[in-house]
Amino acid sequence: MTTIVALSDSHCAGISALPPRLRQALGAADIIVHAGDHTERALLDELKALGNVVAVAGNMDSTALKVLLPFRQLFSAGTASVGVVHGSGAPRGIAERVRAAFPENPDLIVFGHSHVQFDGLLDGTRLVNPGPAASGYAVIRIDQGIDVELVRL
């Protein structure tokens, strides 16, 4: 089994600003996914010190992060293909815009931007928004299927 801890919209300069329960979960993850709006590179560097990180740039990220990180990523986790993108625009319709960013039809897409936790299916793909890191995150377990736990802090 592969355990992903997904966060987004942390809007902070370092890991110490994240809630303690989230920091503990990150330490136990096989893969940490950050779906953008880290804000500063120091947070990304500190997450990488904890383990394997897949991250994308968000609209509020520093110029350095926007140069360093891709707009979207696609990777494999256990038996699943996983897409990561920040998202854009108004909250209404974000799931459709996020889904359209991945014509490869991954099993799972992790996104952020709207600051609203979400777990649902669209066109056969599971979409997960962990919500803003200050108030929540997602634990995603991939084995024979995809199990998602949205954690509210």
The CA distance from 111 to 118, in Å, is 9
pLDDT for residue 72: 98
What confidence tier does 130 reach under pLDDT thresholds 50, 70, 90? very high
- pLDDT tens profile 53-106: 999 999 999 999 999 999 999 999 999 999 999 999 999 999 999 999 999 999
pLDDT for residue 141: 98
What confidence tier does 146 reach under pLDDT thresholds 50, 70, 90? very high
Residue 94 DSSP class: H
Residue 15 DSSP class: G
What confidence tier does 124 reach under pLDDT thresholds 50, 70, 90? very high
Q: What is the pTM of this model?
A: 0.97
What is the overall mean pLDDT for the chain? 97
Where do the domains of the chain lie, and which CATH numbers do they carry? 2-152 (3.60.21.10)
